[in-house]
Every structure is written in structure tokens, then in C-alpha cells.
Amino acid sequence: MSDILVYPSGPQGDLLITGARLLDPRGGIDATRDLLVRDGRVAELAEPGSLGRQDGVETIDGEGLHAFPAFVDPHVHLRTPGREDEEDIDSGTRAAAAGGYCAILGQPNTDPVVDTAPVLESLIERSRTEARIPVGFLAAITRGQRGEELTEMAELADVGAAGFTDDGLPVASAGVMLMALRYQRLAGRPLALHEEDPALSGAGVMHEGAVSAQLGMAGIPSVSEAVMVARDCALAGYEGGRIHVQHVSAAESVLAIEQAKAAGVLVTAEATPHHLCLTDEEVRSLDSHFKMNPPLRSEEHRRAVIEGLRSGALDCIATDHAPHSREEKEQPFEAAPMGVTGLETAFAALHTELVLPGVLPLGLIVERMASGGQTFGIDAPSLEPGSPANIVLVDLGAEWVPGEPGYESRSANCAWDGRRLTGRVRMTVAAGRVAYRERSFAIGAVA
């Protein structure tokens, strides 16, 4: 797909998926077909039963299942190096495969921070043997993510940085941001931005609104995000730079991005499943599984994010998968760290909370989940013949409870932990290799 991804090695097996309903909105495919994968590519789409038996090809019974282009997540915290107890490259890419992802991009807020070529190179090296699906990495914009001095962005890009971000922290200084946008001409990779004005978010732990007023917890106003989005859109427009706004949570941010796009600014943006599906009402439980940054906001903001996704103001869905250890999360809400896991539940949550109630169509969710890498040069997967085989096989009717079967991730801090969801990934093919088979499905296939 792209030279910024590290591909797992190992044999590619040819596959015939029979009788599945194929849905690839971008490729204009919406029909029941047999899908043949040969040599890592979609070789043929044929009327069910018409291909006959294929020698040396494993047949997968797709009857009653949906096949989509697999998903790409540009925003994953793999916690490696430094917190391998929370996630590592193996577990993180397994979790991604279990969620239907065929490629992910890791964030650089690790320990040490990915701010020099040697750290990035060692991650790339480890990924060659540990990753289950193609994986790429972003590097930091500033050294140590301190927001002061630029990293050696040109060298980092040469080594393979997919982009640059200080995610977890904003680039607070507009002057440093402008320098980064200028220097971007040398590095030639997008800047992915965690938008938050620390002077406004302060010590906040949740959305500033009715719920924070009642709970007596410090609020993070929606404008703490929106003013930085507007600032950085203005700077990117001035400098002709390329930016990607991460985890948009506020209505005002959606508006600022819409306006910037209309003005020709090279900006893309992502929304997370949790900001699309949940609100600050969840925080009334004081369960730290609903604590993340940016915070879950009010229904009005959630609606605006949904509409932004529908209109295209927001280009893609990203999980911001942020593993934390049990002991860190098992604390009072205010003391717990920010972040929730999301790779394994993203599709099921969006299907349950948005598609089934008729808020957003299935095709739109599939398209926005598959297009997450485009900003960074990763082509959106497709089911069209000739495309690399990146396929997710889903049972839209299957109900399950996240956490009950355990997680592939090393961490369990999932916002949907213990909640019934409808829609289960049965199998994921990433870059021509079967990267994941759901256990019961794998057993069924053998029988």
C-alpha cells in the first residue's frame, strides 16, 4: 500500500470467500459474490457458485456474512517502547486485526518519545517480526513533545515516519507550529494535531457542561479544542501546509474545519467511535472507562461530529486506541489517566449505536473506516479486482459482549466493556494474509 508501512512476512494463502454480501461504497460494489484472492490480490468477483472448486485455495463460507474493504486506523497508541505491559506491537496489531483493520499507524508518545531516527528505526525493525498486520509510525513534531524545538523531521521522514504529531499534547506555541509547517516542506509528511489550548483546558477532566457542573469536576471547554483547530487551519492556510486534525470532539471544531476546507486549506480530520457514539452523560457513572482526552461531550456536540462525518468535513474514523493498565484505570475518575481502547470494538460500536438506529448508513461507516490512512499516503482498501487483498468479513447479526471473550489487546480499558454490541468481525485479511479468525468461526471452518 505504501512505503511508510512495515509488512509482516510469511506466506500468502489463496482464498475463496463464497456467498458473502460484498459492500465497497467507494468501488461501487454492493452485491452477493464469490471473492477470489490470489497472490495477495483480489483476483475475481463472480456470481455465487460460478467459480467452481479452486485447487490449492482455501474456501471460506461467507454465507450470511458481509465483506467490506478492511479498515485503516491512523491513530493507535501501541505503547511501545516503554509500556509494553499495556500494549506491544504484537498485541496491538492483533487487536487491530480482530477489529477488522488491515493497517494502523502508531503514535509517538512513548517512552522514549519517537523523536529521533534510531527510536523510529528500532520500532520499524521490531515490527518486521512482531506485527500481525501492516503498521506504520508517526514521529513527534517537537523533541520530547515539549513543544519547543522541532525534531529532525527530514531525517525521520527519510527513515519512514508516516507523519508527525505531538499527540497527547498540543503544540501550544503558534510560533513553533508555524516553524513546523514551514519545515514540513523538507519532511513532506502531514502534521497530525492534538488540538487543545492548555490555557483553556487547564486541569479539566471532562467536558465542561451540565454534567461537570453537577459532578463538581473541572471542565474542559469545547472551545479549548476549537480555538486551536481554527488557529492551525489559519496557519496551514498561510503556509500552504498539510494538517490532519485528530479526534475532533466539538461542534465548533467541525465548523472551523468546514470553513477551512471551503477556503482551500489542506486539512483532513478524524472522529473517534467514542465521540460519535457516547456523551458526557456516561461520566455520571464516574467510571474511568469514560475518561479520555478530548472528553466525551454533550449530545449537541456528538450530533455535530456525526453530521461532520456525514458531510465529509470529517474524513475518517480513527479509534485513538489508548491502552492503560488496570491499576492505572482502577482509580477515582479524576485521578485516572485519559484514554480508552477501541480497535476491537470500533465497528461493532458504530454499527450498534449509529447504523442500527438509522443515524448513519452502513456504507458511510465502512467508507470512513477504510479511508483512515489516505492523508498519510495509505490507499483506502478496495474490493475491486486487482486491489491488494484487504478484506474484513463481518457477521452483522452476531451479538457479543466486549471483554467476555477476553481482548487481544493487553489492556481492557474499553468504553464498551460489558455492553452488548451487534456485529462481529469474523475474519480479517490484511495485505493478502489472513490476519485474524474469530475463534468459533475458525473452528467452524475446520469442521
Partner 1 sequence: MKKHLLSIDDLTREDIERILTRADSFAEVSGRTIKKVPTLRGQTVINVFYEASTRTSSSFELAAKRLSADVVTFKSAGSSVEKGESLKDTVQTLSAYDPAAIVIRAPYAGAAGLVARWTTASVINAGDGKHEHPTQALLDLYTLWRRLGREALTGLNVWIVGDVLHSRVARSGVMALGRMGCEVTVAGPPTLIPRDVESLGCKVEYDLSRIGEADVIYALRMQRERMQGSYVPSLREYAARFQIDGRRLSPSQLLMHPGPVNRGVELSAEVIDSPQALIVQQVESGVVVRMAVLFELLTGGDGDEGERAGEPVTRDTEPQPA
Q: How far is the CB of 187 from partner 1 (least distance, A)?
A: 10
Q: Residue 248 has what DSSP assignment?
A: -
Specify the amino acid at residue 437. R
Residue closer to partner 1, measured from CB, 20 or 140: 140
Q: Which DSSP symbol is given to 145?
A: G
Catalytic residues: 320
Which is closer to partner 1, CB of 113 or CB of 429?
Answer: 113
What the block records as the C-alpha cell of 143 is: 523533541
Beta bridge partners of 36: 16, 44
Counted residue by residue, the chain has a size of 447
Residue 58: enclosing H or E segment and its boundaries? strand 58-61
Question: Which one-letter amino acid corresponds to residue 132?
Answer: R
Write down the least CB distance from residue 110 to partner 1, Å. Answer: 19
Q: Decide whether 154 or 255 has the Cβ nearer to partner 1.
A: 154
* Residue nearer to partner 1 on the CB measure, 241 or 339: 241
Q: Assign 362 to helix, strand or coil.
A: helix
Contact 381, 390 (CB under 8 A): yes
- Nearest Cα neighbor of 434 from 391, 398, 395, 394 is 391
Least separation in angstroms between CB 142 and partner 1: 8
Least CB distance to partner 1 at residue 108 (A)? 15
For residue 49, what is the DSSP state? T
Sheet with 164-165, side-by-side order of all strands: 164-165, 191-193, 242-245, 266-271, 316-317
If 0-12 CB within 10 Å is exposed, 13-18 middle and 19+ buried, where does residue 397 land?
exposed
Kindly state the smallest distance separating residue 174's Cβ from partner 1, in Å: 12
Q: How far is the CB of 163 from partner 1 (least distance, A)?
A: 16
Residue 183 vs 436, nearer CB to partner 1: 183
Q: CA dist 76 to 24, 200, 207, 391, 409, Å?
A: 24, 26, 23, 20, 12
The residue ranges that bind partner 1 (CB under 8 A) are 142-143, 148-155, 175-176, 179-180, 182-186
Residue placing its CB nearer to partner 1 in the complex, 110 or 184: 184
Q: Which three cell numbers stand for residue 252?
A: 465548533
Q: Is the CB of 15 or the CB of 236 nearer to partner 1? A: 236
User: Which one-letter DSSP state was computed for residue 27?
Assistant: T
The answer to whether the Cα torsion of 176, 262, 309, 317 is positive or negative is negative
Helix (H) or strand (E) holding 15: strand 15-24
Q: How far is the CB of 224 from partner 1 (least distance, A)?
A: 24
